[in-house]
Structure 1
Amino acid sequence: MKRWLFGVFSLLLVFAMLGCSNSKGANGQDGKTLTVWVHVSDDSEEGKVYQKRVDAFNKKYASENVEAKIDFIPRSGNGGGYEDKVNAALTTNTLPDVITLDGPNTAAYAKSGVIAPLDEYIKDQDDLLPSIKQQGTYQGKLYAIGVSESSVGIYYNKKMLKDAGVDLKTLPTVENPWTWDEFLELCKKLKNKYDKPAIDMQLQSKDEMLTYALLPFVWSAGGDVLSKDGKKAEGVFNDKLTVEAMTFIQTMLKEGYTTRTPVKQAFETEKYPMKMSGVWTVTDMETNFPNVDYGVMPYPVSPKTKKLVSPSGSWQFAMTQTSENKEWAAKLVNWMTNKESNLELSRSIAALPVRYSSEKVLAKEFSAEMNVFLQQLKETGHARPVTPAYPQVTRAFQQAIDDISFFDQHQDIQSVLDTRAKEMQSAIDKAN
C-alpha cells in the first residue's frame, strides 16, 4: 500500500461528511447524466470492456433519457494518479456518481461517507460469491461489488520439474494440497538440481502484493492479522500461530529456496522452475511466453491444520454518497458487475468470476490452469481484513515481511511481530 493512501484517508475524514453533492447536469428534459471514474486507461483490455459495457448501458436505457459517461484515470506506477484525482475531488466536492476502488479499502471509504450502501437497490446479492460480498461489506451493509475476482497460486515449469525427477502426477491439488514440509522438500530437490532458487515468491515487492500473497500462510496456520471485529491487532498478529507462518517464509529464504532479489522474469524465461503469482500471470504467459509448458498448483498448507486458504479480492464499483441519482448510480454499479460484464471481462483479461451465474459458464471455458485458480478461490478464498485502518495495517504487514527477510540483521520473528502489531493497534485505535 503506497504512501499516498495515508493522505487520502485523512482527507476523507475531513471532507466527506460536509454533506455537499455535485450537480450532474441534464441530458435533455428530465434527463440524467451519470459519471463513472475508473482506474485504468481506455486502451487497456480492461478499459475497453468498461467502455463497451457503458455503451451497452446507454443503449438499453436510451428511452429513459439516461446516459453514463466514463472517465479513464489510470493509476501511476506508485499507485497515484487515480487516487490523487479522487483525493482532489473530495476537497472540491466534485466526485462522480460511481467510482472504482480496491477491495480492502472498502471500510475506509464507507466509514468516511464517501460511498453509499447498495442494499436498498441491489436485489441479486445471492448470486455474488461469498468472497465478493465479504470484501464489499462494512458493518453489515454492502457498499461495493467486485468487477472481477483474483487469486494466487504456484506456477511451475513442467519440464524443469520432470528433469529434477518430480512425477507431475503426484503434485498437489485443491482437494489434496501439500503441507509446508512437503513443499520445502520439493524446493530442496529443485535447488539441488539447478543450483539456484526454486521459486520467486515476489518478496522484492514493496506493495500490496506482499499482503495479498503471503497472508494466506497466516490464515492456514490458524492465525490472523486482526480480531474478527477488526479492533484488535495486539494479541492476534503477534500470536504464536503467526510466528509459525512467518517461520515457514523465513525458512524458504534461509535455505535459499527463494530470494529477496530474484532475476527479472526468472520463471517466464525458464531460469527458476516456480513462481508464486496471481491469476493475471496466465495472460502474460499465453501472450508473451507461449512456448513455456507450465502448470499451476494451490498453496501449500500448515502441517498442523492442513487447511488450504487462498487470497481473494480485486477492484470494485461503488456509488458515491454525493450522487444525486442514487437509484440510477446503483443500477450502473450493478450493470458493470452483472453476469454479462463479468463474462466479458473474464474472457478479455483472464479474470475470475464474481458471480455463481458467470462461474458456471466460465468453468467450462477455462483452461486447466485457470480452473485451478477458480476452484481454489471458490472453495478457500478469504478476503483481507475489513477495517478503516487497512492502509496502515497492510503497511505494517509488509514491513514485518521485510524485517524477517533480513533475518541476519533483525530481531527474532516474535519481536518483529510484537513491534508491528503495536503499530497496527495504534492505527486501529485512531481510526475507530
Structure 2
Amino acid sequence: MNSSSRHLRLTAAALTALAVAVGATACSSGSGSSGTAGAGSGTYTVWDPYPQFDKGSAWAKLLDQCGTKAGVTIKRTAFDTSDLGNKTLLAAQQGNAPDVLIVDNPVVSTLAEAGVLTTTEDNKLDTSKTDPNLLAAGQSGGKTYGTPIGANTLALYYNKKVLKEAGVDIATVKDWTSLTAALEKVKKAGKKGITFSAIGTEEGSFQFLPWFWGSGAKLTELDSPQAVSALSLWQGWLKNGYAPNSVLNNTQTTSWQEFASGDYAFSENGTWQLAGAKKAGLDYGVLPIPGTDGGTAAAPTGGEFVTVPVQKDTGRYTTSQKLVTCLTSTDNLYTTDTTLSYVAPTSEVQDRQVAADSGLKPWVAAVRTAKGRTSDDLGTKYPTISEQLWKAVQSALSGSKSPKDALTSAQAAVK
C-alpha cells in the first residue's frame, strides 16, 4: 500500500492506549534522538526499547550485522518502553518515522489503528513460522502488523523447601481446588502462601488475566459468572490468609522481593525473574498457572514486535523487510531471546531453547498457551477494559465490594 492511501489518525483513544498499555513489564530507562535519513542514503534507522544494551552489546552488533547483510548502515536509537510509543506517534506525524520499530506488543494495535504501521502484506514479511497465538498480539482488523521478536509471560514460581515442610507434593497441584488446598496446608504449617501483584495499574490486570482467562471469562464480558469466580478465588485467598494484604500495592518487583525472602510457597511472576531466582539461591521450580478445572491457563504475552512504519518513500520497505527477516531468523532469534530471557516465537527455536536449558520447559508451555492482551480485535478498547478490571480487583480485595458487584460496575463503566 503506498503512502497516499494512508493518513495518521492521532485519536484520543490511541494516545490513552499508549499511556496505559506499556506498564506490565520492567525495562531500563534511556533516551535518544529521532530522525530517518532520506531514501538512497544507505542509512536505515532502527528504534528499540533496549537502552540497557550499549554499542558494544551483542544486540547492537546484531543490528549492524543485519545492516551489512542488507547493504546499508544502521542508525540505532534506544528509548525507554514508556516513551517509545509516543515518540513514534510524534515522528510519524512529522513524516519522520524510523524504518524499523521494535515496540511492546500491546502498543502495536494502537499504532496500527493510528495509521503508523505497514501490514505484512504491504512489506512482504513472512510470518508463517510464528506461533499464531503470539502473532495475534500484532493483529488488528484482520491484518498483521509485524512479527514478535520473543515473548515472556507469567507462571507460578514455587519454593520446594516451603512445600516440603508443609507436606505438599507439587505434582498434586493441577487446578484451582488443588492449588487452594496446597495453600491451606502451607498456612497450617506456619508458612506463607502466595504473593502476586494486584496493584491498581496495568500490572494488576496483567497478573489477574491468567486467572480471569483460566476461568473461561472473556474481556468483552467482565461480569460473567466465570469472571466472578476468578475474582472470588483471589478474594478468598486474602480472606483466608493465603495471600498477604500487601498484594493490593505490590508491583511485580515488590511481589518478587517477598518471594525472594524465602518465606512464600508460591509467587506469580515472569521469565524476567529467572536471573533473580538464581541469585537469591532459592531451591525453586516453575509451574504453568492452572485453569479452574486443570490444564494451563492462558497468560498474557509480554515482549516486543518488530514492525515497519509507514514511509513516504515506499521503496524503503524492501530493505526494511530484509532487516526484519535477519533479526527474526532462526539463529538470531535463539541468540537474542536467550539474551533477553525471552521464549522464542517459533516452535523450532523454542525446542532449541529447551534442549539447551530444560528449566525453560514450563515457560515454553506457558508461552504456547499465552494470549495477547489486545487479541480478539480489542485494539484501543483494551486499556479502558483493563482499567475497569484492575479497579474491580482493587474493590473486591479491599472489601469495599463483592466480586460480583465490582465486576458488574466494571462492565457498566466499559459500556
So what's the TM-score if we normalise by structure 1?
0.80
RMSD: 2.7
Match of residue 240 from structure 1: 225
Tell me how far apart the structure 2 counterparts of residues 306 and 42 of structure 1 sit (CA, whole Å). 36
Q: Is the 8 A contact 1:146 1:313 kept in 2?
A: no
1:257-301 CA distances to partner (integer Å, 9 max, x unpaired)?
A: 112416941211212222110111112222x22x21100112122
Contact preservation (8 Å) 1:108, 1:390: no
C-alpha displacement at 1:412, in angstroms?
A: 1.9
Match of 2:197 among 188, 191, 202: 202
Kindly provide the amino acid, as one letter, of the partner of residue 405 in structure 1: L
1:224-279 residue CA offsets vs partner (Å, 9 max, x unmatched): 102xxxxxxxxx12111211111111111111111241694121121222211011
Q: CA deviation at 1:411?
A: 2.5
* Aligned partner of residue 326 in structure 1, secondary structure: helix
Q: 1:357 to 1:323 in 2, by over 3 A?
A: farther
Partner of 1:19: none
Tell me the CA shift for residue 120 of structure 1.
4.2
Aligned to 1:216: 210
Amino acid at match of 2:14: F
Structure 2 CA distance for aligned equivalents of residues 57 and 24 of structure 1 = 18
Answer yes or no: is 1:9 the counterpart of 2:14: yes
Give 1:198 deviation, angstroms: 0.8
The answer for the alignment partner of 2:23 in structure 1 is: none
Q: How many positions carry a matched residue from both structures?
A: 378
- 1:152/1:310 contact within 8 Å kept: yes
Please tell me the residue identity of whatever aligns with 2:216: G
- The amino acid that maps onto 1:327 is T
Identity %: 21
Q: 1:137 and 1:88 mapped to 2: Cα distance?
A: 22
**1:108 corresponding residue in structure 2:** 110
Bigger mean CA deviation after superposition, 184-193 or 387-396 = 387-396
Contact 2:215 2:292 in 1 (8 A): yes
- How far 1:391 moved relative to its partner? 2.1
**Mapped partners of 2:200, 2:413: distance in 1:** 18
- Structure 2 counterpart of 1:372: 362
Matched, 1:259 2:251: no
Residue 382 of structure 1 and its aligned partner are, at CA, apart by 2.1
Regions of 4+ moved over 6 Å: 5-8
Q: 1:48 aligns with which of 57, 72, 90?
A: 57
Runs of 5+ unmatched residues, structure 2? 1-9, 19-34
Equivalent in the alignment of 2:28 = none
Match of 1:89 in 2: 91
Deviation at 1:88?
A: 3.6
In structure 1, the partner of 2:167 is: 165
Deviations 1:354-408 (A, max 9, x none): 112212211201233x111112322x2222233222222222222221121112x
- Corresponding residue for residue 424 of structure 1: 414
Opposite residue 71 of structure 1, the aligned amino acid is: T
One-letter amino acid matched to 2:79: I
**Does 1:24 find its partner at 2:37?**
yes
Q: What amino acid is the match of 1:247?
A: S
AA of the residue aligned to 2:166: A
8 Å CA contact retained: 2:138, 2:144: yes
Residue in structure 1 matching 2:179, options 179, 183, 203: 183
Paired with 1:154 and 1:207, the residues of 2 have a C-alpha distance of 21
Contact map agreement 2:44 2:73 (CA 8 A) in 1: yes
* CA distance in 2 between partners of 1:306 and 1:360 (Å): 21
Instruction: Quote the residue 1:232 is aligned against.
Output: none
- Is the Cα contact below 8 Å between 1:105 and 1:390 reproduced in 2? no
Q: Aligned residue for 1:34?
A: 44
Deviation at 1:171, TM superposition (A): 4.2
Offset of residue 89 of structure 1: 2.4
Provide closer, same or farther for how the CA distance between residues 44 and 300 of structure 1 changes in structure 2, counting only shifts above 3 A: farther
> Which of residues 328, 333, 353 is equivalent to 1:342?
333
Give the structure 1 partner of residue 22 of structure 2: none
1:336 is displaced (CA, Å) by 2.3
- Shift in CA distance, 349/91, structure 1 to aligned 2, threshold 3 Å: closer
Residues 1:358 and 2:349 are matched in the alignment? yes
Distance 2:88 2:205 in 1: 24
Q: Indicate whether 1:295 and 2:285 are aligned.
A: yes
By how many angstroms is 1:155 displaced? 0.5
State how far apart, in whole Å, the 1-side matches of 2:161 and 2:52 are.
Answer: 38
Contact 1:150 1:312 in 2 (8 A): yes
Q: Give yes or no for contact 1:118–1:142 (8 Å, CA) kept in 2.
A: yes
Distance 1:8 1:418, change over 3 A: closer
* CA distance in 1 between partners of 2:296 and 2:346 (Å): 24
**Equivalent residue, structure 1, for 2:398:** 406
Look up the equivalent residue of 2:219 and give its one-letter code: V
Which of 379, 388, 391 is 2:380 aligned to? 388
1:421 to partner: Cα distance: 1.6
Aligned partners of 1:131 and 1:313 also within 8 Å:
no
Encode CA deviations 1:78-134: one digit per residue, 9 max, x unaligned. Answer: x3x334433442453322122222212222211110111013444532210122211
Distance (whole Å) between structure 2 residues aligned to residue 381 and residue 296 of structure 1: 16
> Do 1:187 and 1:198's aligned partners in 2 also have CA atoms closer than 8 Å?
yes
